[in-house]
Structure 1
Amino acid sequence: MHRLNRDDIEQAARRIYQVMPATAQYAWPLLAERLGCTVWVKHENHTPTGAFKVRGGITFMHWLKHVHPDVKGVVTATRGNHGQSLALAASALGLKALIVVPEGNSLEKNNAMRGFGGEVVEYGIDFDEAREEAARLADVHDLYLVPPFHIELVKGVATYALELFKAAPDLDTLYVPIGCGSGICGVIAAREALGLNTKVVGVVAREAAAAKLSFDAGVICETASANTFADGLAVRKPVADAFAIYGAEAARIVSVSESEIAEAMRVYYTDTHNLAEGAGAAALAALIQERETMQGKRVGVILSGGNVDRSVYAKVLGSDSASDRR
């Protein structure tokens, strides 16, 4: 993949800022008190779609309309946030957006995709089966198949890392959740473009650990299932182009349990009064797990999204928690 430079990312930022403002990053004092280190949170839960993916949707659709001016529309597979971003960006250009989700997908995310103008189709038991159906529908309906990973998606999401690094250029470590990989690859691209030394740590769910298994083995590994409630992390097999980047450039990959993710969601609410979906809380869960080695350091975590169903969030907040015991 073409190595992005600072000008590439700043051009993408200017296009994105025509649709949305930069998101905030804060060093929250109660997180610092809890964890014994400075904790900068990048608030991608505050975008127009409630997640970082909207940035890539904007840049990708601009590229697509420029390169393929006669395109009728797009089709893609998603668990929700990627689909919302493409539905928003496609609708703004008057294009059709057909979104394939697994059966039993989040009802609230499905409704949000429809709200942004997308047509939602349920197919398959998980994201990987939905991807196969999206490829079939692209041929049937003559739509452009949007992959889960593409340089234009990375270029867009790299803008959140550019914002964070400009505000906090001296971070020792930055924790980033990994689904299909655009987020962590965007962070790596921005770090390299700015010439920083921040260690980038990927985070996966223990029940969907293909990226970590692949990182540890040095080759792509696939898992039989990806049964995590953090649906943005529910991928059985890494995307090869993304793995080629984070497999070489990440410092390490940490896996977190379902209970650790849920605890991080509660900590976000208690210490910052921010709502985080499972994938959005995973980076903080990894920092909590590694808190002893992060003492006294300046650390960043990506709160990648806040799109969690009300029933799921109510159950998480209502569960027994150690979040008030520091």
Structure 2
Amino acid sequence: MNTTHPITMSLPSLADIESAARTVYEEFQATPQYRWSLLSERLGTDCWLKHENHNPVGAFKIRGGLTFFEQLAHSGQLPKSVISATRGNHGQSIAWAARKKGVACTIVVPHGNSVEKNAAMRALGAELIEHGDDFQAAREHAIALSGQTGALMVPSFHVDLLRGVSTLWWELFRAVPNMDVAYVPIGLGSGACSAVAAKLALGHPVRLVGVVSTLATTYADSIAAGRVIEAPVSTQIADGLAVRVADASALSVLMQHLDHVVQVSDEEVATAMKAIFEDTHNVAEGAGAAAFAAAMQEREQLKGLTVGAVLSGGNVDAAVFSKVLA
């Protein structure tokens, strides 16, 4: 998309990703990817879906939490306590990895967060604090609490998280070497930048298309402007995409390596959630269905191509999902 903007961070190499895979596979095996016939029929071309809903927390983030904490342990810097902010899946990842290493964990979530994601984080041993009306407010409060308590603040975007998350795209791109285009949802950027890392590490020719919500456009606006642009968040269904302020390091990577960015509405996301359930009988949360929603929006341009999408998470509250199916 932009070949002149400098990279301000080093992406994981192939050796980094392969090492991260060994860490991840201590907890669970590679998740499957399938060419679903009904989804392909609906899209009008071959469609592969990567099932990150099939791991122990039902979302891709766990991969990053495992490698982040493994690096802390390897460097002898494992803290007594950590704190982080989330809309749910990052928090589950950090809670899982902290519990594995015997580290106390506090997670800050915004008011009105997913009831079931909150329950899952508590079940993993995390102490939950509700603060603010969106992720950014929760994040700023977590940073402040880190300064007051001495707990290590675990960010939502960090190279040691990317190493783990890159393993999902490494699995998918190796499994489908002829993939022409992959749709990658963008929250704070770890998933999308990890797709870039895996593509480069493998020398895979796939084109990467970013996906954001029409009601959370910081990355679309920032890429267009060439700098971080804050944008209001009002999506009611794609909470994993509900980021108000883009990360500058992630933006630098995505400006260089995304083919383009697609914006999907809450209505398109809900339609994709329903389609994925009807065609595969898998449950996708809003952000988890966003990639397929974007592919459907561009289906006339995809004829004859092999398309990949990630079901990045399946953690949707039952009440929300029942409305989607209805």
Partner of 2:43: 35
Partner of 1:323: none
Q: Is 1:249 equivalent to 2:225 in the alignment?
A: no
Tell me how far 1:83 sits from its aligned partner.
0.2
Q: Is 1:206 equivalent to 2:206 in the alignment?
A: no
Q: Decide whether the 8 Å contact of 2:216 with 2:232 is kept in 1.
A: no
Provide the rounded CA distance (Å) in 2 between the counterparts of 1:254 and 1:10.
Answer: 30
Larger mean Cα displacement after TM superposition, 246-255 or 226-235: 226-235
Partner of 1:259: 267
Where do 1:295-314 residues align within 5 Å?
A: 295-314=303-322
Partner of 2:288: 280
Tell me how far 1:68 sits from its aligned partner.
4.5
| 2:39 match: secondary structure | helix
Where do 1:105-144 residues align within 5 Å?
A: 105-144=113-152
Provide the rounded CA distance (Å) in 1 between the counterparts of 2:78 and 2:280.
Answer: 46
Off by >2 Å, runs of 4+ in structure 1: 65-70, 224-228
Q: Is 1:192 equivalent to 2:206 in the alignment?
A: no
Q: Given the two structures, how large is their TM-score scaled by the length of structure 1?
A: 0.96
Tell me how far 1:75 sits from its aligned partner.
0.5
Q: Decide whether the 8 Å contact of 2:213 with 2:235 is kept in 1.
A: no
Q: Which residue type is aligned with residue 81 of structure 1?
A: N
Provide the rounded CA distance (Å) in 1 between the counterparts of 2:284 and 2:156.
Answer: 22
Map Cα deviations across residues 101-148 of structure 1 (whole Å, 9 max, x no partner).
Answer: 001111100000011111110000110000010001112221110111
2:298 pairs, out of 283, 287, 290, with: 290
Tell me how far 1:169 sits from its aligned partner.
1.1
| 1:75 match: secondary structure | strand
Q: Is 1:79 equivalent to 2:87 in the alignment?
A: yes
Partner of 2:3: none
Provide the rounded CA distance (Å) in 1 between the counterparts of 2:102 and 2:129.
Answer: 20
Q: Which residue type is aligned with residue 196 of structure 2?
A: I
| 1:281 match: secondary structure | helix
Partner of 1:221: 229
Map Cα deviations across residues 290-314 of structure 1 (whole Å, 9 max, x no partner).
Answer: 0000011100001100000000000
Provide the rounded CA distance (Å) in 2 between the counterparts of 1:106 and 1:314.
Answer: 14
Count of residue correspondences: 318
Q: Decide whether the 8 Å contact of 2:211 with 2:261 is kept in 1.
A: yes
Task: Output the aligned Cα RMSD.
Answer: 0.9
Residue identity (%): 51
Structure 1: gaps spanning 5 or more residues: 319-326
